[in-house]
Amino acid sequence: MVTDIRPALRRCTICAERFAATATSHRPNPVVWFQPGARLLIASQAPGLRVHEANTPFWDASGRRLRSWLGIDEDTFYDRSKVAIIPMAFCFPGYDAKGSDL
């Protein structure tokens, strides 16, 4: 029996205390962008602040560049049945006091 882990990932708050202690003092917002059967898997870094705020992966200049490299339009790229985007961490980890990525 295969269990769909997406709902549990979306509800995850295990890092809430750690995120609250960062310079950004943010809450967890797991960006879960995949569904079974997608033909293309993009393994990526943890989401950045823009992705955290937009709740959409690659929602910045890096996404435009990536879509250009792949030769696919925005609608195809954001169709979860076609493209799965799995980051090494589902949440934006925050910044330290000097503004560096954690």
Rounded Cα distance, 89 and 12, in Å: 12
Question: Domain 6-87, what architecture?
Answer: 3-Layer(aba) Sandwich (3.40)
- pTM for this entry: 0.84
Q: Reduce the DSSP state of residue 43 to 3 states and report it.
A: strand
Where are the domains positioned within the chain? Answer: 6-87
| pLDDT one-digit tens code per residue, 38-93 | 999 999 999 999 999 999 999 989 999 999 999 999 999 999 999 999 999 999 99
Rounded Cα distance, 98 and 102, in Å: 10
CA Rg, the chain, in Å?
Answer: 14
